[in-house]
Amino acid sequence: DAATLQKIAADIGADINTNGLVNRYRLADIKTVQTTQASLEAYHAAFSTIYNKYSTIGTELTPIAAAADTGVIEDPEGLRTIAVAYQSLAQKIAAVRAPIGVAAYHLAIINELDHIGKSIELILALEDGGINAMIGASFYGNYTLALANSSRALKEYLTEYSILDS
């Protein structure tokens, strides 16, 4: 957790920020449209089409777990590719016009995707000293949980408006 990381940093004399990553996307970056049944359907279709093109999303769990056990990242380029995929997915979804009713979920999801990518990049520093990898692992856990919560909230919203089946 953040307190443990701060203690470790103090012990080794490093100054690190464990408060989280800076959001790349702001509400002003989101292109919004009026919330209607049609705009929600179009949003869901666009979001799903983009998301489905990123088959590597989620495949980082096994190499990250293995690295945590061994201290060695077996395929750093593969993991780096996944980190880039998260950030690319965030960028592509950010370009989707979001109905005003889902704009907050949309913003949270794109920032969380971007942060997961950045967290994986930090984890890649495992062999270069470790403290950044520990921070990355902490952030990764926090942002994957936040993404799950934001995704669940968006799903509930879309289900309420019959865009998704319950």
pLDDT score for 166: 80
pLDDT score for 132: 76
Q: What is the pLDDT of residues 143-154, one digit of tens each?
A: 999 999 999 999
Kindly tell me the number of DSSP H helices and DSSP E strands found in the chain. 6, 2
Q: Is the pTM of this model over 0.85?
A: yes
What's the farthest any 2 CA atoms get from each other in the chain? 56
**φ, ψ (nearest 5 deg) of residue 136:** -60, -45
Does position 6 have pLDDT exceeding 80, yes or no?
A: no
When comparing pLDDT for 116 and 3, which is higher?
116
Q: What is the pLDDT of residues 106-122, one digit of tens each?
A: 999 999 999 999 999 99
Q: What is the pLDDT of residues 58-98, one digit of tens each?
A: 999 999 989 888 888 999 999 999 999 999 999 999 999 99
pLDDT score for 71: 82
How many other CB atoms are found less than 10 A from the CB of residue 1? 9
* Whole-number Å distance between alpha carbons of 50 and 148: 18
